[in-house]
Every structure is written in C-alpha cells, then in structure tokens.
Amino acid sequence: MQLEVSGQNIEVTQALRAYVAEKTERLERHFDNLISAHFVLRLEKLEHTAEATIGVGGRTNPIHADAVAEDMYAAIDALIDKLDRQVRRHKDKVTDHRATRPNEAD
C-alpha cells in the first residue's frame, strides 16, 4: 500500500511517520486490497486531529475517517480503530458468505 503522511501546523517527525506505518499494518492484515492511504495530522490549539482517506481496489469512493484527541498518538489510535471497523465491514460486504454445497447428482 502506498502511504502518504502530511501535517498542518505540525512537523511530521520520523517517529510519527513510523507510528502511522506500524498501525496501518493492522489494516493490511484484515484486507489486502488496499491501494493507497493519505493521512493528515493537524494541530489546532489544543486539539490534535488525525484524518485518513484510504483507496480500496474495486471501490469507487474511498474510505474516510477522522479522530480528535488531546495527544497525537491517541488520535492516531482512535483513527486506526475507526478505519479498521470500516475496512472489516467492507470486506464482509465483498466476501461471498454463501455455503458451498456438494453437488447432489443422482
């Protein structure tokens, strides 16, 4: 998956970039058809905001979520939890859940 991390009013350090990359591995574990992810980390006064847009193969509109916390790492954790729920829900929709029956010939 192509990963892009940018910041507004905050310098995106190597530690933040590595933390986001480590957390997105959880999303890739649940669904392997993720194409790209764009994370925006934002600092507005005392609110740390993290938002992400993930492009999924076979889907026209991307998955989007955002989270606000007092700490940037907590905001990233909350964001990943939201994205994880959405990715698992999308995978359930795409997966064929019909039980396969053996052919009942004769």
Inform me whether the pLDDT recorded for 1 exceeds 60.
Answer: yes
What is the percent of the chain where pLDDT is above 70?
A: 92
Taking only the tens place, the pLDDT of each residue in 17-56 is: 999 999 999 998 888 888 999 999 999 999 999 999 999 8
- CATH of the domain spanning 2-80, picked from 3.90.800.10, 3.30.160.100, 3.40.50.620, 3.30.420.40: 3.30.160.100
Q: Are 62 and 53 in contact (CB under 8 A)?
A: yes
Chain Cα centroid distance, residue 71: 19
Residue type, 13: T
Dist CA 89 CA 93 (whole Å): 6
**55-65 burial, b for 16+ CB within 10 Å, e for fewer?**
bbeeeeeebeb
- Give CA–CA dist 5/67, Å, rounded: 15
